Amino acid sequence: MGVMIVVGLAVIAATIVGRLGGKTEEPEPAVTMSLAPGAPLTTFDPATVPLPAGSRLQQIVPAGDRLVLHLAGEGGRNVLMVLDMAGGRVLGSFLLEPAQ
């Protein structure tokens, strides 16, 4: 029992010393994007994307040369809309309905 107390105190002391030592861990980014060294960013023309009436944009996820928009609609209906990033046009959408 005495050994467990000593080990527990050692763990607590090590944790306190580690936190006071200025070691801070950076959180991982949700999305990582890498560009080729020296690759210039290209320009693009503005595009209008028609969203379903009453929907709210929940999340944007890049997927290669496409962009996926997660839209929350009325009545628990969600839509995943897939866009072409080069032209800004809607490639298609998925309607997610709640299970019954």
Structure confidence by residue, pLDDT tens digits, 42-89: 666 777 888 888 888 898 988 888 899 999 887 778 889 999 888 788
Q: State how far the alpha carbon of 31 is from the alpha carbons of 54, 60, 79, in Å.
A: 28, 10, 21
∠52-91-48 over CA atoms, to 5°?
55
Q: What are phi and psi of 49, to 5 degrees?
A: -110, 115
Output the pLDDT for position 82: 92
Distance of CA 77 to the CA centre of its chain: 21
